[in-house]
Structure 1
């Protein structure tokens, strides 16, 4: 019997997780990733509730627990750096927190033996027909697949090609920000510092690495337009937002310009009337991002991947039925997480 050929775009979390379940269900799975190699960006991801069951089912929960830095909590400070309160570790870390690099490497390791990974390439065109999807790639040869699944993040190329422009799906939550790392000159160890003003927030933390300090500088914005601008313009926006701020702010702005892991993003959600079009569907942030402020992105990606795979396996080859049931089951969970994302964005100065 010929295996169903599935193409997954994106090799971060949702894509490899879905590939794991589909491979075990007998599918012929290819994952395409535009990065030249496995991505090591991202600082920490956390898991809550049912996501832990997914990790257990995949056989990696115990291994991931070994990577938990066991954060001790976050100290709230005012504009002078004086402590005003404390937040427990669970406020940011969930029930389990690990460096994202550890998660992506483990997911790749447990799938690489039975899943075809293609790095340094991306989808450039999709054409559906009665028996499949013709896929054109930026570098590779044109190929045929039975199903195509976008697991390629907020700015999903699959969603753009199959569902329409990013602007039609993205909802900006009023926050943008930059992340980077610098020398841990404050001596933080498995702890964080949070300083907020009505329109800005500085969050500093160390995941147990004595030498490095992770920095997040967020500020109120009216759109996500800066996401598509160059680093110089993004840095200028950050400097303007934090101009005149005291405490460690000037030193952090200087470190931002020197950082080689600079990352800028806006806090957005993805809202679509339907997550599927014919033989193409979406999973994780590509289809229903709840925003980083929800604290549920990684958990939602894992649960979404398992839910989609389970429905495909039980539908007996009827992808339309599987996609519909997947969406019906998951939408209430996504709606709850997206509401959390909106409310937390407001707490950090967003205008959602």
Structure 2
């Protein structure tokens, strides 16, 4: 194969673009957003995913952008501290280990800079149709002219358009975990100094931590409930939905809700996993959240994306043009790793998975297997 189209310029898509180019394949990445998506929570690179970053030559760069939390406080509904730790945080686990926590947008910028000189990135467009046969995939775009590629990779997230076009409606493959998550940025009006705060009261709560040398906050709201009907992607509607569910909380909640409405970035979704019997259909294959979203509750979505990109690219390299053999090898190698990491999200409902479970799951694959 000579040409590959990747849908999605997130962590999975950008990492795969790097590896495919390194293996001599011409890569185009199409992203519906007008540029790299800003905001998002702090993400973790753990275990085998650190080996992937090292092989990309980015380990020192990534380490330079890691968060530097000193610990956390757990608060009751009135904001009174009921527990504190200088050894672990809920966002990253044990502080004294080799894992790296950094902001999603920092990681995305690093990966994009690594790939952009050698890869065609098309922002502000999206795939609208796929027509594949034994020889190629003909792709229609919302704005650009139709083009033909040897393979198409859906790395376009939980609500993947490629998955819908190649496999069917989203509802066939998603499993709601009973929670919602909203993430947004604000000024550091709490004057936090490399310290996290976590408050929970009933089935709702939030986590707050400073970033950017303590100049900003990243705020995460979480609450239980059924998801909104499919297709409701309006940000104002989502903000209203979140505000209504969080309004009963006390302490600094009014200030946090004000920050929600003023946030320059905002992410919201139901906590959902994707479970599929197969990740490929003809010349189309899924990567990362599009094929096996573990949800932020697992803490392993970023690592799954990075490892999946390496394993898929390596399988294509070894297959010498036989995409069927490559996709089969990719599935065979990744599926046990995916299942272990997805299980982290449901091991301890309402709390993090056991440290031993995370340690096992994050190392449960060999890159050169």
TM-score by length of 1: 0.94
Q: Distance in 2 between matches of 1:332 and 1:107?
A: 26
Partner in structure 2 of residue 85 of structure 1: 83
Q: What is the CA deviation profile of residues 56-90 of structure 1, one whole-angstrom value per residue up to 9, with x for unaligned ones? A: 00000011111112211221111111111134345
Counterpart in the other structure of 2:40: 42
> 1:1-352, aligned counterparts within 5 Å?
4-87=2-85, 88-89=87-88, 91-93=90-92, 95-225=99-229, 228-347=232-351
Secondary structure at the counterpart of residue 97 of structure 1: strand
Distance 2:341 2:130 in 1: 30
Q: Tell me the matched-pair count.
A: 346
* Per-residue deviation, 1:345: 4.6
Shift of 1:231: 3.2
Whether contact under 8 Å (2:7, 2:30) holds in the other structure is: yes
User: Which 10-residue stretch deviates more, 304-313 or 226-235?
Assistant: 226-235
- Give the RMSD, CA atoms, in angstroms: 1.7
Q: 1:164 deviation in Å?
A: 0.6
Could you tell me how far 1:225 is from its partner in structure 2? 2.9
Distance 1:76 1:328, change over 3 A: same
Cα separation, 2, equivalents of 1:110 and 1:239:
38
Shift of the alpha carbon at 1:182? 1.9
The TM-score with structure 2 as length reference comes to: 0.89
Kept after mapping to 2: 8 A contact 1:134/1:144:
yes
In structure 1, distance between residues paired with 2:103 and 2:249: 30
The answer to whether the 8 A contact 1:172-1:224 is kept is no
On the 8 A contact 1:294/1:338 being kept in 2, the answer is yes
Contact 2:6 2:27 in 1 (8 A): yes
Contact 2:157 2:288 in 1 (8 A): yes
**Which sections of structure 2, spanning at least 5 residues, go unmatched?**
94-98, 353-369
Mapped to 2, the partners of 1:204 and 1:129 lie a distance apart of: 50
CA distance 1:111–1:229, change in 2 (3 Å)? closer
- Measure how far apart 1:36 and its partner are: 1.1
Distance 1:230 1:40, change over 3 A: closer
For 1:226 and 1:249, the matched residues in 2 are separated by 28
How far the C-alpha of 1:112 sits from its partner, in A, is 1.4
> Any stretches of 5+ residues in structure 1 without a counterpart?
none
The 1-side partners of 2:321 and 2:239 are apart by 50
1:239 and 1:38 mapped to 2: Cα distance?
A: 27
- C-alpha contact 1:184 1:211 (8 A) present in aligned 2: yes
Q: Give the 3 Å change call, closer, same or farther, for CA 227–86 of structure 1 in structure 2.
A: farther
